[in-house]
């Protein structure tokens, strides 16, 4: 294979790279797919808790693209070529039925991310036009007279007419996306924003929050406060962890939280009873206390909150009331209990690192990519796809949909 010249070299065998290589091979181009791991799709196979949230089943392009507020204008053109419906057709047409769950999240019916991976590996292999070179890390581009001619790897140099860079961002670096692709782009003159974890859980240094690890609240309101003002408010499920808080809601607010942390200290305030105002929650407590008069307060409170959480809340109100009988709770203590349950505060100190993040902010500035073809605006024979491009989006299948769309378009255009 050494020194053979290809039509196209695809660097990175993740979802976007496999889609690009498979598509180009299907159209008859001679392709080399280079992957540094000893297998393709390592990150893909752990997505969605190994079930792979393959896309988001919103079939209206406009509504779908509302989830990309900062990059929507770039994405209309690619989505007019390959959209969510195309993804359904692609995978279902290849024998992988999809199911749709809450928040329109689509998964393979088999609930196995590995099956998604196998569909793509088959796609790469079926045309016999794609050579796959595993365990090979591309180190740099070979650029001559302003044009990319080849790539350097420890196994030798490889040459092609066109190149597709699909090396991913920095999230979950243990799966292979360690950022060399972005350094290579910066070296040849692309504007690359430093990666930063996004879609990541949040940290606090407050010990009682760490102590709640494993507890969850199905429906609460989480407000982020700065200088006493509400900067962001979200509602849904919250998970407490040994470092802070997590869950889709928290993960999806990480991007905004990072921006806020740059401007000052940030406090999280959790309202455990978002449907009750102070008065109605106080009334609920009074009713509860009336029926459970002689019980220990901590036992009675289990009617309202999970044990771990209720005991923590009681300790925050007053260490001494945890074990007292309900009838000895004073009015002031009860009122303070209501206030605490509606405004459980702790500081947010940052996001967890790349190893905890689902995607990373940063990468190539989208302005440097022609989204009609996915070509670099600096090098006409270079294509940039997937997480290498700096596009902020929520969790819910949106990241992989970008990979399918961009991979398909780059593969089609490069094979022309
Ligand atoms: C735990 C987790 C769960 C996720 N779940 C979901 C989900 O359910 N739904 C969803 O939409 N998104 C999910 N994501 C995000 C999604 O996985 C990514 O957006 C997607 O994998 C990006 O694909 P990619 O092709 O751009 O890059 P990657 O998947 O990162 O693949 C890049 C590939 O390039 C290879 N590579 C890197 N550098 C080189 C080099 N120098 N030479 C050769 N090869 C190289 C890497 O080894 C890697 O295989 C999840 C992410 C994580 C971390």
Q: Which domain holds residue 38?
A: 5-198+355-415
Token pair listed for 82: 């390959």
Tokens of 53: 């949230």
How many domains, in total, are found in the chain? 2
Domain boundary (302, 328, 352) is at 352
**Residue 78 and residue 9: Cα distance in Å, rounded?**
21
CATH number of domain containing 30: 3.50.50.60
Q: Is the CB of 48 under 6 A from ligand 1?
A: yes
Q: How remote is the CA of residue 54 from the centroid of ligand 1, in Å?
A: 13
Same domain, 250 and 342: yes
State the Cα torsion 403-408-414-416 to the nearest 10°: -170
Q: Is 43 in the pocket of ligand 1 (CB under 6 A)?
A: yes
**CB-ligand 1 contact for 326 (6 Å cutoff):** no
| H helix or E strand, kind and range, residue 20 | helix 15-26
Task: Using alpha carbons, select from 55, 41, 20, 14 the residue that is nearest to residue 181.
Answer: 14
Residues 365 and 285 placed together within one structural domain of the fold:
no
Please give the number of the atom of ligand 1 that sits closest to the Cα of 48.
Answer: 8
Are 322 and 382 in the same domain? no
Sequence-separated (6 or more) residues with CB below 8 Å from residue 269: 222, 223, 224, 225, 343, 344, 345
Element containing residue 408 per DSSP (H, E): helix 398-415
Give the dihedral sign, CA 323/325/331/334.
positive
Residue 11 CA, ligand 1 centroid: distance in Å: 13
Domain boundary, last residue among 323, 352, 381: 352
User: Measured in angstroms, how far is the CA atom of residue 382 from the centroid of ligand 1?
Assistant: 20
Coil/strand/helix, residue 290:
helix
- Which residue's alpha carbon is nearest to atom 31 within ligand 1? 14
Cβ partners under 8 Å of residue 285, min gap 6? 304, 334, 337, 338
Residues 382 and 360 grouped into a single domain: yes
pLDDT tens, N- to C-terminus, the chain (416 residues): 445 689 999 999 999 999 999 999 999 999 999 999 999 999 999 999 999 999 999 999 999 999 999 999 999 999 999 999 999 999 999 999 999 999 999 999 999 999 999 999 999 999 999 999 999 999 999 999 889 999 999 999 999 999 999 999 888 888 888 889 999 999 999 999 988 888 899 999 999 999 999 999 999 999 999 999 999 999 999 999 999 999 989 999 999 999 999 999 999 999 999 999 999 999 999 999 999 998 999 999 999 999 999 999 999 999 899 889 999 999 999 999 999 999 999 999 999 998 898 888 889 999 999 999 999 999 999 999 999 999 999 999 999 999 999 999 999 999 99
The domain boundary residue, chosen from 330, 352, 374:
352
From CA 301, how far away is CA 81, in angstroms rounded? 56
Q: Do 63 and 143 sit in the same domain of this protein? A: yes
Pocket test for ligand 1, best of 21, 141, 167, 170 (most atoms within 8 A of CB): 167
Q: In this structure, are residues 29 and 198 in contact, taking their beta carbons and an 8 Å threshold?
A: no
Atom of ligand 1 nearest to the CA of 388: 26
Q: Of 199, 292, 281, 285, whose CA–CA distance to 247 is shortest? A: 199
Cβ–ligand 1 contact at 180 (below 6 Å): yes
Please indicate whether residue 20, judged by its CB atom, sits closer than 6 Å to ligand 1.
Answer: no
Kindly tell me the number of DSSP H helices and DSSP E strands found in the chain: 14, 21
């Amino acid at each position: 294979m050494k020194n053979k010249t290809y039509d196209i070299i695809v660097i990175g065998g993740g979802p976007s790279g496999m889609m690009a290589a498979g598509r180009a091979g299907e159209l008859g181009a001679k392709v080399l797919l280079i992957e540094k791991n000893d297998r393709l799709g390592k990150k893909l196979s752990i997505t969605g808790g190994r079930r792979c949230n393959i896309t988001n089943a919103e079939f209206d392009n406009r509504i779908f693209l509302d989830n990309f507020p900062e990059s929507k204008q770039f994405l209309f053109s690619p989505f007019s070529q390959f959209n969510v419906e195309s993804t359904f057709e692609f995978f279902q047409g290849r024998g992988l039925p999809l199911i749709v769950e809450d928040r329109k999240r689509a998964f393979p019916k088999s609930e196995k991310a590995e099956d998604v991976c196998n569909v793509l590996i088959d796609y790469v292999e079926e045309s016999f036009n794609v050579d796959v070179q595993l365990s090979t890390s591309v180190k740099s581009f070979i650029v001559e007279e302003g044009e990319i001619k080849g790539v350097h790897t420890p196994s030798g140099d490889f040459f092609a007419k066109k190149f597709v860079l699909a090396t991913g961002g920095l999230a979950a670096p243990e799966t292979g996306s360690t950022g060399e692709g972005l350094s290579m782009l910066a070296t040849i003159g692309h504007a690359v924003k430093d990666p930063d974890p996004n879609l990541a859980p949040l940290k606090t240094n407050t010990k009682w929050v760490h102590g709640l690890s494993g507890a969850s609240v199905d429906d609460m309101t989480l407000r982020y406060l700065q200088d006493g003002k509400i900067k962001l408010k979200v509602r849904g499920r919250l998970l407490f962890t040994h470092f802070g808080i997590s869950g889709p809601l928290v993960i999806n607010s990480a991007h905004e939280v990072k921006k806020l942390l740059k401007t000052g200290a940030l406090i999280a305030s959790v309202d455990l009873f978002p449907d009750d105002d102070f008065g109605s929650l106080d009334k609920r407590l009074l009713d509860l206390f009336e029926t459970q008069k002689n019980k220990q307060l901590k036992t009675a409170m289990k009617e309202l909150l999970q044990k771990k959480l209720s005991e923590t809340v009681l300790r925050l109100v007053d260490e001494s009331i945890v074990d007292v009988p309900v009838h000895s709770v004073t009015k002031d203590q009860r009122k303070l209990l209501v206030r605490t349950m509606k405004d459980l505060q702790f500081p947010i100190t940052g996001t967890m690192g790349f190893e905890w993040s689902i995607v990373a902010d940063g990468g190539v500035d989208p302005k440097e990519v022609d989204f009609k073809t996915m070509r670099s605006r600096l090098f006409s024979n270079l294509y940039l796809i997937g997480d290498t491009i700096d596009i902020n989006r929520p969790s819910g299948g949106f990241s992989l949909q970008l990979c399918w769309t961009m991979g398909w378009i780059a593969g089609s255009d490069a094979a022309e």
